[in-house]
Every structure is written in structure tokens, then in C-alpha cells.
Structure 1
Amino acid sequence: MHRTGLMGAVVMSVATILGAGAAQAQAPQPQVQAAQRAAMAKLSRMQGVWVGQASGVNPDMSRYSVTQTERIGPMLDGALLVIEGRGYRADGSTGFNAFAVVSYDPEAAKYEIRSYAQGYAGTFELKPTDTGYVWEVPAGPGVMRFTADITDTTYHEVGDFVMPGMAPMRSFEMTLTRRGDTDWPAANAVDPAP
């Protein structure tokens, strides 16, 4: 009985410690959040609704062309940037759909993009530039490098397969026009009222 009581006390102590740690982990971190928002402000030009043309090369080397749409908005009071891209075929069906979340880690002083597309997912470093960004996805002996230039009205992004000793091979390009603002994804939050 004494041993059971001791084990119970140990379990309760561990649960209390873990519970306190979890509560501490959930506590607001105003300095971290302020640093995240400040860093994400560098990418605010991306926000909005964009529409235009995109084209590229399929894995079988055939070419495709779609009407590309992007909706990009802030989440968590500007600490994240959420992106959904859809490419529509001529018949109106969805030929491409991707989702991504961009964030900033103040401790590492790095941006990252968590991307989901065509059955693949991964987390990659994103590097803001004066006019947009660059990010890379490992691809065999090379990388797929995505480079964007964004103005107040135009969003241009290219994807190049880059391998040492070879000229870059373009496999994707989109040129979009800004259509307006969006309140996505923060809009229409669940109302807690019964």
C-alpha cells in the first residue's frame, strides 16, 4: 500500500510538473510575437487576391497552362502568412492546388515556408529579397529554386531546376495581377456564443 501511495505521489508530481511546463509553453510571449510580426511585415506586399496565367512542365516533360489564383492573408495577428494557390484548367477544373504557411523564427533569425502540393509536403527556408523572396526544394542532385518579384500590382514567380555545372532549367512561371484585399483566413472565426 505504501509503495502504491509513493508511486501515486510520483505520478502526481510528474503530472504537475508537466502540466506547469505545458501552461508555461502556452503563456503569451509578447516579445517573440512582436519580433515575428515585425519580420512578417517584410512580406506584407504578398497579401491579397491575385489572378493571372501560369505555365510549366509536367514530370513527363509535357507542358501545361492554367489560370492561377492566389489568396494570401495574415493569421495569428500577423505572425503567420497563409497562402492558397489554385490553378484552373480551360474547362474550369482544378489542375493545381497548393497550401503554405510562412513563419519567422526570431531565435534562428530565419523564415520558413511549410508547403503542401500534389501529395508532397516539406518545410524549407524562405529568404526575403528587396523585391520578393527565394526558396529552394531539394530535387535529386539539384534544387528547385522559386524566385518571386512582387510589386503593388504584379506577382511574378519562376521555378528553376538548378544543378551544379548546368544552366538553370525553367519548369514553372506565373504572372499574376493583384485583384484586391482579402480577409482570408482570419475572417469568419467561430463564434463562441451558444
Structure 2
Amino acid sequence: MADTVRVRPLADEDWDAVVALERDAYTGLGLSEGRAALQSRAAASPDTCFVADVGARTAGYVLALPYPPHHYPDLTRTEGTAPALPPGNLHLHDIVVAPGLRRRGLARHLLRHLTGTARARGDERISLVAVGGTERFWSARGFVAEPGVVPVGAYGQGAVYMSKSVRAHPAPSPSTTLREVS
């Protein structure tokens, strides 16, 4: 049976599900941040943070916020109130899909939505720190490794900073168009 997928802005009532998804994804890597840090990152840029619903279930989320190139959130701290940055680089801090719903295209769907959002904001690049052996996944989506940016241990063993242009490969603009996942 197929369920409808919808990407929408992250809302206050989503936090229990987001925290559980983040904990399940990152605790084994020693990278789980907890509710306060996650909420501070979303508060820094609420227009670039989304959830994906499959039917009535929160199936995944993405947290992204403006950061200068070659910079990224400190996992040991919450985001402070910083001056608003002009568009340029949108840092994809977290993208998580529920374990039972992986390998169905939901992460790609969230990434397309985020790419369209970055383009609409006027950003030129999206950056991220690939953790837990995900560099190959991100490379397949156009991200290029920039070794040496992330200090050893800051994001776990083998973490690598990566980025891609949002202008190089046009993607569909953000949409709340529903599609089916089976």
C-alpha cells in the first residue's frame, strides 16, 4: 500500500518525533545533540527546516541554516543569536529518514526541496559534514569533499566537509506536491 508524502515546514508539535529520529540516527555514532541544540538550529533559520510526512507519520526531517563556507555548527553548543547572514551558503546540518522508510527516495525528496529553497533564497552553495561513512551517498548527489575542513573528532571518525553548487544542476523548485511511496 502506498502512502502520500508531504514536505512541510517544521512545526512546534514535530519536536518529539524529530528528537527521536535524531537520537536513533546519531547516538550510535556518538553525535546525538539533544532537543535544545536541535531547536536552537531550527530557530536560527526556521524557513530552511522541514519535515517529511508519509501518511500521518513523521518520516524524516531536514535542519539547514546559513553558515559561512567552511564553517559548521559546533555539536557541543546551541546556536546563539548571530547577525543574519546574506544568502550564499546554506549548511545542511541534519537530514534523517526513519529506519523503516529508508531506501524509498525520501532523503532525495527532502534534498530536492532544500535545494529549491536554497535557490529561491539566493544561496549559491549547500554544504554539509558527511558522517558515519555517508560521503559516497553525498558524492552521488553532487557534493564534493573538501578534506581538512573538519578537525579530527569534531564530528566523529572520518567526517568530511562537502559542498555543491545549487546553480550547477537545476532542480525543481520547492513544492508541496504530493507523491506516493510504496
TM-score after normalising by structure 1: 0.28
**Which structure has greater strand proportion?**
1
**Which structure has greater helix proportion?**
2
TM-score after normalising by structure 2: 0.29
Larger radius of gyration: 1
